[in-house]
Amino acid sequence: EAGVAQSPRYKIIEKRQSVAFWCNPISGHATLYWYQQILGQGPKLLIQFQNNGVVDDSQLPKDRFSAERLKGVDSTLKIQPAKLEDSAVYLCASSLWTEETQYFGPGTRLLVL
């Protein structure tokens, strides 16, 4: 069974630029999560989708971050404009349903200069 796919794996941008990340969850998984993991910390949930609907985005900085999952399968997370403090690993995870084990992708390492 294929795992959660993410791209790109690494991205370096300058502050105020825009960046987008892509995630393809495990086939059949209804729930998709985007997390931000800052070095030395645990993951912080940014947004949770159930199929193509948003379950929770209370910790998403909506002035600069946006995410969509239009067809209920793959998802994109965008940052516009980026700040230095956005440097982190962005992890995508999926689960069969909301209360099931989450499976994580390899992550995208973002460095904002």
Chain residues that interact with another protein, rule: CB under 8 A: 40-45, 48, 55-56, 91, 93, 98-99, 101-107
**Greatest pairwise CA separation for the chain in angstroms:** 38
Is 20 or 89 the residue whose CB approaches another protein more closely? Answer: 89
Minimum distance of another protein from residue 109's CB (angstroms): 8
Minimum distance of another protein from residue 86's CB (angstroms): 19
> How many CA atoms does the CB half-sphere of 60 hold within 13 Å?
22
d(CA 90, CA 81): 16
Minimum distance of another protein from residue 104's CB (angstroms): 4
